[in-house]
Structure 1
């Protein structure tokens, strides 16, 4: 849910392996990379929103 100021609760995750390599996702249509993230629905916990 977006609040009156235009913000939405969200969760971001950092995924790494035993070699300490990180997963970054490239944004579609942009010259940018980011960690996986997304919004949290009103009925979700941050942990549930990660999946």
Structure 2
């Protein structure tokens, strides 16, 4: 499997993956449901230890 950056145009689709507030917390440890597309887009810019 290869992980690669997603297209910014796909951020809204990715943001809709979790279907409940609990899933949002499990998925990305946020409290906002639904997750904003701009939040998902920002993840691509953030360099973190998982890179």
For Structure 1 versus Structure 2, the TM-score category normalised by the shorter chain is under 0.3
Which structure is higher in strand share?
1
TM-score, normalization by structure 1: 0.20
TM-score, normalization by structure 2: 0.20
